[in-house]
Amino acid sequence: MITDDTLREGMQTPGMAFTIEEKLKLAMLISEAGIKRALVSYPVAHISEYEVTEKIIKNRYFDETFGLGRTIKEDIDRIYSTGANISLHLPFKIDDINILKENVRYASKKGKKLEIGIVDIDQYNIHDLIKICNDMEESGANILQIPDTKGVTSPEKYGKIIKILRRSIKTEIEIHCHNDAGYSVMNAYEGLKSGADYIDTTLFGTGERNGISDSMVISKMLNDRKIEDIDMNKLKIAYDYMVNLILKKIGNEFFMDNYPLYGKNTSIHTAGTHASFGNIFKGKNYSVNAYTGRSMIKNILIENKINFDESKLNMIVNKIKDYSSETGRALELKDIVKISGEVN
């Protein structure tokens, strides 16, 4: 089954940002195509993410709606208060598995479906990966997401990992395949063959750097195998709306920039969590919207020799997030300079 991630992962597309109204329109069109499951937001990132989650749930667009956060109690409580199911990602580097297990147990008692993402599986050998999955399963996770976060795992290796995990755990498995090397659809196919229950997709394969598996391609694959019943004509209507947003906010160059291996999007980060882990993600270019974090803005200000008051950095970040959410666009350097000057 497809899990649409356009409203959350799509927000991490270099140069992209959505207003609340645009997200609601996308949610409606995607649901009308027959997609029943969606990860729609990162509620702790900004108030707009919180509000849009509440509205999507109120409108009952999807049978299952998830919000994403870190494996900490603050994020768990924030997601839960929207009414959404809870999706959590583990840290990129695990320092204390016992704290994570405690927080997963805390989330499991909320009475919502609980999904845990084992971030960047490429860093683990298979024995360590099985151990982490078993720990999360025993702590109360209903679904384990197995992401190829850097988009570098070969289809053969990815399929083998999913096959081994399918034999090792009882929980449902969700796959999330990035497209930096052009492997995302092949990895999704191999993951499906190997026993995965859900495949994350986005319209036009949008997302962090070069994005993830494309919704239309995966829908066709699942329809042909009688696994899904997606209305392709209605899905095209969602694509028509999305392409207009891309052209308005980014322009035609998006389609070249987003090409795997060749396009410059390979080295551009939007997610604040990615910018905080420069030892893992090597790109030094950033796209700034409501998902931007403190570390990213601080790096941009320092790299561009922009003077700022460290004690006012949170105010700068919050104003940047507000501006992006209200206008529905990613900020340029001149916008960041202007906002930092107004705060300082």
Which phi and psi (to 5°) does residue 220 adopt?
-60, -45
Q: Which residues of 91-179 form beta strands (DSSP E)?
A: 114-117, 143-148, 172-177
User: What share of the chain has pLDDT > 70, as a percent?
Assistant: 96
pLDDT of res. 271: 57
CA atoms within a 13 Å half-sphere pointing along the CA-CB vector of 261: 5
Specify whether the backbone of 261 is left (phi greater than 0), alpha (psi in -120 to 50) or beta. left
Give the pLDDT confidence of 43-57 residue by residue, as tens digits: 999 999 999 999 999
Tell me the domain boundaries of the chain: 2-253, 264-343
Give the Cβ contact number of residue 176 at 10 Å.
Answer: 29
| Spans of the chain, pLDDT less than 70 | 271-284
- As assigned by CATH, the class of the 2-253 domain is alpha beta
Distance of CA 50 to the CA centre of its chain: 15
- Helix/strand/coil percent split, the chain, to 5: 50, 15, 35
Tens of pLDDT along 171-193?
999 999 999 999 999 999 999 99
| Listed residue (23, 35, 76, 4) closest to 223, CA to CA | 35
- Residue tagged 């340029």 (tokens): 332
